[in-house]
Amino acid sequence: MKDIKSDIKENFIEKLKSFQGKSLEDANNIDKYRALSGMVRDELGKRWVETNSQYNKEKIKQVYYLSIEFLLGKLLISNLINLDLYHNYKEALEELGINIDEIEEIEPDAGLGNGGLGRLAACFLDSMATLGIPGHGCGIRYKYGLFDQRIVDGQQVEYPDNWLKDGSMWEYRKQEKEVEVKFYGNFWAEKKDDGYETHFEDYQSILAVPYDIPIAGYKNNTVNTLRLWSAEVAENEFDFSEFNKGDYLKAVEYSRSVEAISEILYPDDNHYQGKELRLKQQYFFVSASIQSIINRCKKKNQSIAHIDELVAIHINDTHPAIAIAELMRILMDDEGFEWNDAWRVTTNTISYTNHTIMPEALEKWPIDLFKNLLPRIYHIIEEINKRFIEMISIKYPDDLRKIKAMSIIEDGQVKMANLAIIGSNSVNGVAKIHSEILKKQVFKDFYDWCPFLFNNKTNGITHRRWLIKSNPELSDLITRTIGNGWIDHPIDLGKILKYEKDSKFQKEISSIKYNNKVILAKLIEEEMGIKVNPKAIFDVHIKRIHSYKRQLLNLFHIIDLYNRLKENPNLEIHPRVFIFGGKAAQSYYIAKETIKLIHSVAEVINNDEEIEDKIKVIFLENYRVSLAEKLFPAADVSEQISTASKEASGTGNMKFMMNGAVTIGTMDGANIEILEEVGEDNIIIFGLSANEVMDYYHNGGYNAWEVYNSDIRIKRIMDSLVDGTFSKGQKDKYRNLFNYLLINNDEYFVLKDFDSYIKAQNKVEALFKDRNTWNKMCINNIARSGKFSSDRTINEYSVGIWKVAPFVVKN
């Protein structure tokens, strides 16, 4: 038998010829990327066809995960790892003088998401396929993903992310599976003896064309599907008479307006914009997805009357909540169901995850906009609401407050969270504290009405991308030490605890971290021309820029440390590199000012010769999945400092932990469960609790001016924003940030938590200097991170919500 690597080399050279028309000598990295991905496509394709054929033969329940975002990142190496081909390919290419990491650089990130919510959807796809859950993603094929961020003169500038410009190697256009989606028009219902007759006329019909991406499980034969929809002009809608009359421009304009639906991803994270185009996007992908789910059942001759036994449909936040009304519409208008049967089947099929309690993120559509764009859907929602209110009015006859709060339609708006709760069989939060806040505060009325609807599913991350792929050295050390059982059972990472005091193991852990820091230091020097010391503490704050995530609190600690060093140049501190990364929504003024201020502070401190390399401040531009993979493995300190109660879960915190960074964090989101896992010796907690924060919001009692006037460190920092210290004498440059903090009474408690944060940071410093203790902390964090694998999360969804069992795809 010929050995595998020779086969790979031979096939690779063949693919270069057939795909790119090039010899190995002439091929550039783009040619090599395309040839290599082509080989991976061949492997995926075989298993994909087999998986689908077995799903079709057997009557197994399918899960559809509807999400307006999927933040996939790059797929080449991740696919190779899951197909169990990575090592052979890497080595075979090495024998040809090719470095696979350089080839991966060619692939553009699929950045079809803003942050945590979209990345969660991507981790879930990986875990579903790995666990053998027949689970598929449904979303939008945005022509432009989240903008490219570049920093020009210390400010964020947004560039379009044209990720499809050279085509994608992972998508398959399935023209024959296109469906029609209808907007606008006139809808009315006519009373007849045997019920109603409905009429829907003069609507605009557009085409939804699916592009499928195969999602491979880890070392099994499962390949599930991510179906992303693209909007196109329906031929019968294209007004050829206008076109023939010579109104070419009108025809072009029309096709532009249709294609706009799947053109751009809205760049707002945790913030709602009531734009018609966004609602169009939502209905577009939801309607197309539900239609294709129904088509699939019919093709298999399955009875739509029992669709709740054949499929589970999950909605990732409220963006796809309209699925409830769309499924009702199809069951009644197309399949002839009576209301009650349609409602029973719909609610048995759909489940909902809430992602935030921030009021500005809750979706509320103006009735006029909604009704004009989706008249039939609005009619159904009105009816759902009418029946729901009739029902709860029996239980709470005189409680008008309750009835208003629970109503889907109120004050001229359609409240999508209420629709999602009323139309689902399960409502879950994404970390214990978040699920408790949902029950006790945000959705208390719904919880009192129907407590068994509510449950918790703490988020997770796929350890295949966030440890095996991103930190191969650490992953190999773990396998050398405890065997490879942890890969299928990440809880087994706990087995390395046996070695927490083993000085050889400690040394290896610490030298892997050091190597990763050297690699990152090299990247920082290449990108920014700044030399950083890999022996320094790498203190990393990477996530969307948002007031509640409190990048300003981190920056105030940096300024305070700088002030102390300036006052006392002999102050002994362990050198630190503060690393920031993250994008601000274009329209989010305070977030963009925060990016500016980080750069201004960095400019002063990095160029202050007295400071030497005791402090460096780095902002890495264009934070995205592929950059994240280089940052987590090189971090010593994980900044998770959101105002308590605001971060529903966080998943960045889990990636850091799994790579051996120590968290400095508030009692918020999944930080609380990280503390539960590692114990208080292995995490540094500070700040107000969620109860204290909410007590201030409800009862007052906090005055930011008082803190400003009574803490001289804070006064000095705040004043330095408006005395020109960080703005080359331009005093008013940060006046608005200064005012924002004080005039809004410091709504996210940056000043209030400052003292506690400084003490926590001093503790970080002391612990880091004690190398033995710090290494033990790193080991404990890695060892206890198994709970946060998304395999655990998906198992909980499968058993507790979807009622699906794994299915073994046979070879």
Ligand X SMILES: *Cc1c(COP(=O)(O)O)cnc(C)c1O
- Footprint of ligand X (CB under 6 A): 115-116, 119, 543, 624-625, 628, 650-652, 655
To the nearest 10 degrees (0 to 180), the angle between helices 712-721 and 735-743 is 140
Minimum distance between the CB of residue 118 and ligand X, rounded to whole angstroms? 8
> Which CB, 388 or 623, lies closer to ligand X?
623
φ and ψ at 320, to 5 degrees? -95, 20
Comparing CB distances to ligand X, the nearer of 254 and 757 is 757
* CA distances in angstroms from 176 to 204, 208, 210, listed in the order given: 21, 11, 9
Of 211, 213, 231, 232, nearest to 223 (Cα)?
A: 213
State the distance between the two ends of the chain, measured CA to CA, in whole angstroms.
21
Minimum Å gap between C-beta 408 and ligand X is 30
Structure token pair of residue 176: 């024959």
CB 629 to ligand X: min, Å = 8
Closest approach, Cβ 50 to ligand X, in A, equals 31
Q: Which is nearer to ligand X, 311 or 430 (CB)?
A: 430
- Backbone CA torsion sign across 743, 748, 750, 752: positive
Question: Taking the complex as a whole, how short is the minimal distance between the CB of residue 751 and ligand X, in angstroms?
Answer: 23
Minimum Å distance from CB 552 to ligand X? 16
Cβ proximity to ligand X, 376 vs 624, nearer residue: 624
* Pair 370, 414: CB distance under 8 Å: yes
Is 121:71 a contact under the CB 8 Å cutoff?
yes
Name beta bridge partners: 157. 150
Cross-strand pairs, 136: 64
Give min distance, CB of 5 to ligand X, in A. Answer: 33
Give the position of tokens 């409602």. Answer: 343
- Residue whose Cβ sits closest to ligand X: 652
E strand or H helix at 499:
none
HEC assignment per residue over 537-557: EEEEEECCCCHHHCHHHHHHH
Q: Of all helices (H) and strands (E), which one includes residue 684?
A: strand 684-685
Q: Which residues are catalytic?
A: 355, 543-544, 549, 651, 655
**Cβ–Cβ < 8 Å for 664, 639:** yes
Residue with tokens 């491979």: 216
Least spacing, CB of residue 655 vs ligand X, in Å? 6
Nearer to ligand X, 319 or 624 (CB): 624
Rounded to the nearest whole angstrom, what is the least distance from the CB of residue 167 to ligand X in the complex? 23
Question: Any alpha helices (H) in 4-99, and if so which ranges?
Answer: 4-20, 29-57, 76-82, 86-95
553: left (phi over 0), alpha (psi -120 to 50) or beta: alpha
DSSP notation for 660-718? TPEEEE-S-TTHHHHHHHH-GGGSEE-S--HHHHHHHHHH----HHHHHHH-HHHHHHH
CA 498 to chain centre: 34
Sort strands 204-216 and 172-173 into parallel, antiparallel or unpaired: antiparallel
Cα–Cα distance between 363 and 355 in angstroms, integer? 12
Tell the smallest beta-carbon distance from residue 288 to ligand X (Å): 27
- Name which of 650, 570, 641, 550 is nearest 610 in CA terms: 570
Q: Dig out the tokens for 470 from the structure.
A: 């991103």
Q: CB 737 → ligand X: shortest distance, Å?
A: 22
Residue type, 17: K
Which C-beta is closer to ligand X: that of 9 or that of 624?
624
CA distance 479 to 469: 14
* Spatial contact of 487 and 460, defined as CB atoms under 8 Å apart: no
- Smallest gap, in angstroms, from Cβ of residue 30 to ligand X? 25
What is each CA distance from 443 to 396, 532, 579, 626, in whole angstroms?
Answer: 16, 48, 37, 37
The answer to whether 736 and 593 are in contact (CB under 8 A) is yes
Nearer to ligand X, 625 or 704 (CB): 625
Give the separation between CA 481 and CA 311, rounded to whole angstroms.
Answer: 42
By beta-carbon proximity to ligand X, the closer residue of 270 and 346 is 270
What string of DSSP letters covers 381-398?
Answer: HHHHHHHHHHHHHHHSTT
Q: How many residues does the chain have?
A: 811
Residue whose structure tokens are 């595998």: 4
Residue 631 or 704 having the CB closest to ligand X: 631
Task: Using the minimum distance from each CB to ligand X, give the nearer residue, 280 or 544.
Answer: 544
For the bound state, the minimum distance from the C-beta of residue 551 to ligand X, rounded and expressed in Å, comes to 11
Both tokens assigned to 425? 């069989």
Strands across the sheet containing 615-620: 615-620, 576-581, 537-542, 637-640, 662-665, 684-685
Which C-beta is closer to ligand X: that of 313 or that of 648? 648
Nearest to 127 by CA among 463, 475, 628, 468: 463
Instruction: Compare residues 611 and 631 and give the one whose CB is closer to ligand X.
Output: 631
Close Cβ partners of 484 (under 8 Å, ≥ 6 residues apart): none
Is the Cβ of residue 280 or residue 624 nearer to ligand X in the bound state? 624
Q: What is the DSSP letter of 264?
A: B
Type of residue at 551 = Q
Cβ proximity of 250 and 242 under 8 Å: yes
| Distance (Å, whole) CA 780 – CA 758 | 24
